[in-house]
Structure 1
Amino acid sequence: MLTTAEPHGSAAPRLTTTVAREYVHRAALSEVLLTGWSKVGRDAFTATAQWPRSHSFYVPEYGLHDPLLLCETIRQTSTLLAHVGYGIPLGHHLTWSRLQFAINPQALRTEATPAEISLHVTCADIRYRRSVPVSMSMHLEAARDGVLVAMASVGFASHSPAVYQRLRAGREVSEVFANAPQPPEPVSRSTVGRLRKQDIVLAPTAERLRWQLRVDTSHPVLFDHPLDHVPGMLLLESVRQAAHAMDPARAGAVLPTSMDVSFNRYVEFDEPCWIEAEPMPATGASSGTRDKIRVNAIQKGFSAFHASAELTDAAWL
């Protein structure tokens, strides 16, 4: 006999899939991290995610998952719940105003299987217009096998297509994306700890601790689909790379273990955006193992975003 029937009463296997890619604003199924969600209260939800053992852009180093994989998980979770939890229609544009997170680096260790992440989400500060939310904040706790991975919060607004067109002065996504200028030559790979030129988001300037934001719209992860402005995940990557570039001779990977980022304006493709970094005084608790920096992005004379970040050297973990 080549096969045997399952015995009566045996438990059915648990089948796992990802959420619909449209709900997390992704074109590539391979880039969808979320595997499910449920509503557990009036403004409370749970979601599940899986982090791959390897990723083409969020590369594990020193046996640790990339902390920015958490940020992409936060982005996907907030987008998913905005649509399925609050009925914000697909086609509406979601825009971050602030992102904060603090991560437990010990919980980032890669293992023999992908990391299964559970997220507990509560929503607050919800403003409605005609029964559809136009802004809210979400507070998230991420855990892995019962161990706290991170705490985070994100604030964002939702714009209907008509409102978004007014905000963007009629810019058409396809036209703006097609006419994005070619990126300038990057800083060296060793300066930012990146092996591939395509993954480098900083270009050199004549000033120390000042770079031009390098926007390569052909990047398959950062630009998974056409956009009419620089995405938030690229801006977060610029903070991480600026931290590395401040001291490129340091040993080990630089892990952004906490960030507080305010997004003030859309970063456009057709004007240079300057990334400026400065060290912040270290506290007694962080001295020796952790550094703090402040990063500001300037475009057309205005602050497009500003961030403070705490960096942990993986060699100390």
Structure 2
Amino acid sequence: MSVTIADVRTRDLHDLLATSVPRQFVHKTVESEVLLTGWFPVAPDRFRVTARWPVGHAFYAQVNGHHDPLLIAESVRQTVPLLSHVAYDVPFGHRQTWSTFRYEIDPAALAVTGAAPAEVDMDIVCSDVVRRAGRLSSVRMAVDMRVDGRHLGRVETAFANLAPSVYPRLRGPYADIDEAVRRSLPLAPPMAPGRVARARFADVVVSPTNTALRMQLRVDHSHPVLFDHPVDHAPGMLLLEAARQATHAAAGPRPVIATAMDVAFTQYVEFDAPCWIHAEVAAADSIRVRAEQNGADAFTALVTTTPVPQAALPRIPAQRDRRVR
């Protein structure tokens, strides 16, 4: 059964969400995928939201002694429906759609400092709050993040809120989730995991082509994290992961951290046509990525990279020379 705000009194809801966040409020099916742990209002349109990053997440795992930077994106993504529902009275059944997303962080604050989960604090300021017919229509969020007390950086995002009466008109035939999934293209073979800083083929979201740094998006509906629940289009987190993996492919063998992303979502990515991921080196420390479908750009990202400090790289033990002398 879905939880609705009408099911609990306002005070009870505040007490509940101050200690835990039910999965329905962040639009997740699996409880273990909920990163947020609480929230409370600070002032009009100002909020504190807390999160916890697990030590051994199945997908957003620690690499080279650092937390996965896309935990930043997923944490903020979860605050979008949470604050929509609890702070701006958006009913369940409405959909929140990203238009822009950017972050810039200090990579040193991503360094793993212990064996316990990381405690995350997000101070959020909402602006440009637009309402139509008394309902939230769109809003911008600025987020200052700290991890285990260390300042991590800043995130800015903007999203629209779409009512159930609006979304089908916007999406047309693609609004039918079952039909959209049925028309999905066959899953393309994955790129070698090592090229995109992944350990498992199942977690690779791009497929190689005959053109260097031109990849095809892999849409694997069975992925337990990126497709936690059925959707009618490629999720935003899948596109961010494709941008991150394309960045690693373009950066070459040197280990890097995506320390900044500046992203624009311009149209939905559908399941029934190839989506091409293009990557190009924009500068010594940045990669430009775009997702193209049906001849139009659906998503663009400028990703800034920072080399992983040598001290953080795993040491490969020296091998004894076993040649016969």
Fold agreement, TM-score > 0.5: yes
Secondary structure at the counterpart of residue 122 of structure 1: strand
Q: Deviations over 1:269-316 (max 9, x none)?
A: 11000111111123xxxxxxxx20111111001110111010122235
* 1:164 is the counterpart of 2:167: yes
Secondary structure at the counterpart of residue 169 of structure 1: helix
Instruction: State the 1:163 CA deviation.
Output: 0.5
Structure 1 residue runs of 5 or longer lacking an equivalent are: 1-14, 283-290
Give the Cα–Cα distance (whole angstroms) in 2 for the partners of residues 146 and 30 of structure 1. 24
Q: Is the 8 A contact 2:143 2:156 kept in 1?
A: yes
Secondary structure at the counterpart of residue 62 of structure 1: coil
Percent of paired sites with the same residue: 47
Which residue number in structure 1 is paired with residue 302 of structure 2? Answer: 308
Between 193-202 and 260-269, report the one with greater CA deviation.
Answer: 193-202
Give the Cα–Cα distance (whole angstroms) in 1 for the partners of residues 18 and 91 of structure 2. 26
Which residue number in structure 2 is paired with residue 71 of structure 1? Answer: 73
Counterpart of 2:155 (choices 128, 132, 152) is: 152
Residue identity opposite 1:189 in structure 2: P
Which residue number in structure 2 is paired with residue 9 of structure 1? Answer: none
* 1:196-207 aligned within 5 A: 196-207=200-211
Q: Is the 8 A contact 2:263 2:302 kept in 1?
A: yes
Q: Is the 8 A contact 2:139 2:160 kept in 1?
A: yes
Counterpart of 1:55 (choices 54, 57, 61) is: 57
* 1:142 is the counterpart of 2:145: yes
Which residue number in structure 1 is paired with residue 136 of structure 2? Answer: 133
Between 172-181 and 267-276, report the one with greater CA deviation.
Answer: 172-181
Q: Deviations over 1:47-104 (max 9, x none)?
A: 1000011111011011111000010001001221111110111110110000010111
Give the Cα–Cα distance (whole angstroms) in 2 for the partners of residues 218 and 52 of structure 1. 22
Q: Is the 8 A contact 2:18 2:39 kept in 1?
A: no
Which residue number in structure 1 is paired with residue 248 of structure 2? Answer: 244
Q: Is the 8 A contact 1:92 1:160 kept in 2?
A: yes
Q: Is the 8 A contact 1:192 1:245 kept in 2?
A: yes
Q: Deviations over 1:118-164 (max 9, x none)?
A: 11000001110111111110000011343211200110001011100
Give the Cα–Cα distance (whole angstroms) in 2 for the partners of residues 273 and 305 of structure 1. 10
Counterpart of 1:83 (choices 85, 94, 111) is: 85
TM-score norm. by structure 1 comes to 0.89
* 1:1-317 aligned within 5 A: 17-110=19-112, 111-170=114-173, 171-250=175-254, 252=255, 254-282=256-284, 291-316=285-310
Instruction: State the 1:35 CA deviation.
Output: 0.5
Instruction: State the 1:16 CA deviation.
Output: 8.3
Off by >3 Å, runs of 4+ in structure 1: none
Q: Is the 8 A contact 1:203 1:214 kept in 2?
A: yes
Give the Cα–Cα distance (whole angstroms) in 1 for the partners of residues 58 and 117 of structure 2. 15
Q: Is the 8 A contact 1:193 1:248 kept in 2?
A: no
Structure 2 residue runs of 5 or longer lacking an equivalent are: 1-16, 313-325
Give the Cα–Cα distance (whole angstroms) in 1 for the partners of residues 142 and 253 of structure 2. 36
Give the Cα–Cα distance (whole angstroms) in 1 for the partners of residues 119 and 182 of structure 2. 38
Structure 1 or 2: more helix by fraction: 2
Between 142-151 and 263-272, report the one with greater CA deviation.
Answer: 142-151
Count of paired positions: 293
Q: Is the 8 A contact 2:196 2:248 kept in 1?
A: yes
TM-score norm. by structure 2 comes to 0.87
Provide closer, same or farther for how the CA distance between residues 164 and 302 of structure 1 changes in structure 2, counting only shifts above 3 A: same
Which residue number in structure 1 is paired with residue 323 of structure 2? Answer: none
